[in-house]
Amino acid sequence: MTHHFGEPDSHAVLMQFNRLIEEILGGNLHRTTFRPWEIRILVDLASCDLRGSSRCEGVLRDYQNEVQCQMQEGTRLPLKLSEYLASPQVNGYRHKPLAVGRAHGAHGR
């Protein structure tokens, strides 16, 4: 589905992005054809090297949620994972579990 001037429809792109993330998380990325923006996402994902990270799924889910929010606000194409990881919101998010732990009475850092 395309929008004005051959630009992809953001709703269709979001659905395709969600499918891509689910394929990655499910370990069943067996397609042989990808859209140019999907290739950009996959190459960037490989450069971020989240393999082996115990937080990999959580990071990808948070990234997926951020892309969904941005695209619902009108962004045409998903941001790259590296862009998401470099954002100030993510750096702040990494410290949120401490605040949650303190709220539940946990002590220490």
Q: Is the pLDDT of residue 95 over 60?
A: no
Burial code of 82-101, b = ≥16 C-beta within 10 A, e = fewer? eebbeeeeeeeeeeeeeeee
pLDDT on residue 90: 77
Q: Is the pLDDT of residue 26 over 60?
A: yes
Q: Is the pLDDT of residue 105 over 60?
A: no
**Cβ–Cβ under 8 Å, residues 98 and 109:** yes
Q: pLDDT, tens digit, for every residue of 42-77? A: 999 988 877 666 678 889 999 999 999 999 999 999
CA gap 48, 81 in Å, rounded: 7
